[in-house]
Structures are given as C-alpha cells and as structure tokens.
C-alpha cells in the first residue's frame, strides 16, 4: 500500500497550477528520476539538485516540445520554497517514488499526458472543421476547463495573431520606408549601413513591404512582456484576464514601443484611459480590443461573405500557430513507453 502524504497534496497543487507545458512538474519528475536511478543526489540537500535539475528538465522538454524553456531564476527557485516543495517534501516524494518503481514520476507524466490528450482532440477538431463551421466561443471554451485553464493566455495569443495576420493579408496592406531627398549626402556616406539596416540605398531610396505581425514567442511565466509586434508600428499585449489600471500602467511602462494595443477579455476602458492619462501614457495607447471585438471580427471572417477568403486563411493561421504552441501530443506517447510509465504503476490514491 502506498502511503499518502502532504507532499502529494503539494505536488497536486503544483500540477494543477502548471501551464500546459508543465515545466515545474517535469523538473520535479526529473529530480526523482535522477534520485531513483543515479543515486548521486541527496534530496534533503537542495544544493544537490536546485541548479542541475534545470538541465535535466530542459533535456526532457526539448524531447517533448522541441525547444528549451526560457525561465527566470526566481521563477525556478520558487519551486523549492517552503510553501511549495522544500527538501523535506522532496524526501517524502523520493521515498514513495523509489519504493514503488517510479510511481511519482509516472504520475506526473501521465497527468501531463491527460492534458495533451485534450490538446490532440482540439487540434483534430481544428483540422476537421470548415471555416463556416468554426466557432470562436467554443474554441476558447475548451481553455476555460480546469485542465487547460492555465494556458488560456496562449489560446488568446493564437486567436489574436491568426486574426490580425489574416485580415492584414487580405487588406493587401504594405509598409513603405523612404529616405528624404535632403538626406542624399548622408545616404551616400552611410550607404552600406542603410542597405544593411534599412534595406535602402542610393539606387533604391524607397522600399515597400507587406504589413506583418510577429509573435515574440512562447512566454512561460507570468509577466507583462511584449507578446507581438508589427512592422508597421504598434506592439500588442494580450491579457485574457480582467485588466486593472495597475496592470495596464505596468504594461505601458515595461513595453518599449511608440504605440501599444492591449487585448483583454474585459476592459474597464474609462478607468484605464483615465489612469493612463494621469500617468502621461495615453498617447501611446493605440486602442483596447476586447473579447467581444474578437467574436465580432471572427463572425465576419467566417460568415458567408468571407469564409472562402479571409476565413480560409484565418483557420489556416490558427491551425499553424496552435500546432507550434502545443506540439507535444505525439512525442509524450513515445516518451512514456521509453520510460515504462504506465497506469499500472498508479495505485492507492495516485491514479490519474
């Protein structure tokens, strides 16, 4: 019989709060894997695994999703805080894990697999549905469920990026960069610089490029960092939660861009506008987009008028970004087989 412990309660809380990638739970699993198989660490001594475990975790993460997480040290150190999983609790988990053939490791990864099963179902539906059948509210609703709730911000980023990219493409928008005629002398002296950095030279003092939006990449911790930027000016910050005046001012203060677009689920427009005006930042706010705007624009895109043009490209962008953001639904199956993690190991309250 497997004993229950406070350590499992803490581990469950960690898994429940983790985003879809599960970086922190994976790190715990790899520490326990090392303890069970390597025998070169003492779980009661945090220094034995606090830093090395990031390498062990990253190796597995690269295997599962194909990239290395970029996490700040404070985010990582919180994992071993007294109220999360300090050494004493790691010792408890280690004893259970070794006494039952890797039970805790298997539990963590099979919980992660449960999440990826849902991801696989969503991906399959995206590929199956036609532009005229796609329902944005239903798609976002998947991420309101407990298993995927921590990744709802990523879902909103995907939704915003796909929409902006599709509409911008069909607007046939271009961005023009030109050098003033009065600058010819400077351009002549710095032509190699201008060619490398700006793409212009004496023979081509003006260039036009398609307007594009770029995602900065997957962010893995709570922050107010930049989510997207456009080659036509504004930066875009996506927040799925209610946006408070404080968080709005933080975004404006920490994002270096002349103009910012804020996307959120519910925006207290008047309050935010007032606060930003008081801080002298309102001039940088291009606008606030809410979930209602996204629903309306998606409705138009997938309506009869645009379903076969804007809607087709929008759904294609959505599938592409979803696959990039959540790539590991197949990889984890082979990983479980490689490690011999099966549900047969999960007994006495450790079932998934």
Write down the pLDDT at residue 164. 92
Q: Which residues of 36-108 form beta strands (DSSP E)?
A: none
- Confidence band for 221, pLDDT divided at 50, 70 and 90: very low
Question: CB-based burial of residue 220 (10 Å sphere; 0-12 exposed, 13-18 middle, 19+ buried)?
Answer: middle
Compute the radius of gyration of the chain from its Cα atoms: 24
Note the pLDDT tens digit of each residue in 119-152: 889 999 999 999 999 999 999 999 888 778 878 8
Write down the pLDDT at residue 152. 84
Q: Is the pLDDT of residue 179 over 80?
A: yes
Which is nearest to 312 in space by CA: 130, 179, 189? 130
| CA distance to 12, 92, 167, 224, per residue, from 6 (Å) | 10, 9, 51, 33
98 φ, ψ to 5°? -75, -35
Write down the pLDDT at residue 223. 45
H or E stretch at 82: none
Domain locations in the chain?
6-118+329-345, 135-173+211-301, 176-209
Confirm or reject CATH 3.40.1350.10 for domain 135-173+211-301, answering yes or no: yes
Q: What is the pTM of this model?
A: 0.78
Average pLDDT, the chain: 85
**The two three-digit tokens of residue 241, written as one number:** 């939660």
Write down the pLDDT at residue 230. 84
* CA–CA separation, 235 and 43 (whole Å): 45
Note the pLDDT tens digit of each residue in 58-93: 999 988 887 777 776 676 778 898 999 999 999 999
CA 189 centroid distance within chain = 44
Write down the pLDDT at residue 90. 96
* CA–CA separation, 306 and 296 (whole Å): 13
Burial letters 307-342, b for 16+ CB under 10 A, else e: beebbbbbbebbbebbeebbbbbeebeebbeeeebe
Which is nearest to 295 in space by CA: 96, 112, 136? 136
Write down the pLDDT at residue 1. 52
Write down the pLDDT at residue 20. 74
Note the pLDDT tens digit of each residue in 286-320: 888 888 899 999 999 999 999 999 999 999 999 99
143 φ, ψ to 5°? -90, 5
Task: State in Å, rounded, how far the first CA of the chain is from the last one.
Answer: 17
- Confidence band for 213, pLDDT divided at 50, 70 and 90: confident
Contact at 8 Å (CB) between 68 and 58? Answer: yes
237 φ, ψ to 5°? -120, 125
Contact at 8 Å (CB) between 232 and 83? Answer: no
Q: Is the pLDDT of residue 340 over 90?
A: yes
Q: Is the pLDDT of residue 169 over 50?
A: yes
Write down the pLDDT at residue 336. 93
- Confidence band for 263, pLDDT divided at 50, 70 and 90: confident
Q: Is the pLDDT of residue 38 over 90?
A: no
């Amino acid at each position: 019989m497997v004993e229950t412990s406070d350590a499992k309660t803490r581990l469950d809380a960690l898994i429940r709060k983790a985003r879809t990638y599960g970086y922190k739970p994976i790190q715990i699993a790899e520490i326990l894997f090392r303890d069970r198989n390597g025998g070169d660490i003492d779980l009661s001594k945090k220094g034995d695994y606090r830093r090395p475990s990031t390498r062990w975790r990253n190796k597995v993460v690269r295997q599962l999703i194909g990239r290395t997480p970029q996490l700040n040290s404070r985010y990582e150190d919180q994992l071993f805080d007294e109220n999360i999983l300090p050494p004493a609790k790691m010792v408890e988990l280690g004893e259970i894990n070794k006494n039952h053939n890797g039970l805790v490791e298997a539990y963590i990864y099979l919980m992660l697999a449960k999440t990826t099963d849902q991801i696989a179902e969503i991906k399959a539906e995206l590929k199956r549905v036609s532009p005229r059948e796609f329902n944005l509210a239903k798609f976002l609703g998947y991420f309101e469920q407990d298993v995927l709730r921590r990744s709802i911000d990523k879902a909103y980023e995907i939704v915003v990026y796909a929409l902006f990219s599709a509409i911008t493409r069909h607007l046939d928008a271009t961005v023009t960069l030109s050098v003033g005629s009065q600058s010819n002398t400077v351009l002549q002296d710095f032509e190699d610089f201008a060619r490398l950095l700006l793409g212009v030279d004496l023979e081509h003092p003006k260039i036009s490029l398609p307007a594009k939006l770029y995602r900065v990449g997957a962010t893995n911790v709570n922050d107010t960092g930049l989510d997207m930027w456009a080659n036509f000016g504004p930066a875009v910050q996506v927040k799925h939660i209610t946006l408070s005046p404080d968080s709005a001012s933080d975004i404006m203060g920490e994002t270096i861009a002349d103009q910012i677009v804020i996307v959120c689920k519910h925006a207290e427009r008047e309050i935010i506008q007032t606060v930003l005006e008081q801080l002298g930042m309102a001039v940088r706010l291009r606008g606030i987009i809410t979930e209602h705007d996204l629903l309306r624009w998606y409705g138009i895109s997938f309506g009869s008028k645009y379903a076969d043009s804007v809607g087709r490209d929008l759904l294609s962008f959505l599938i592409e970004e979803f696959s990039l953001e959540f790539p590991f639904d197949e990889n984890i199956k082979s990983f479980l087989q490689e490690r011999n993690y099966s549900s047969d190991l999960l007994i006495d309250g450790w079932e998934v």
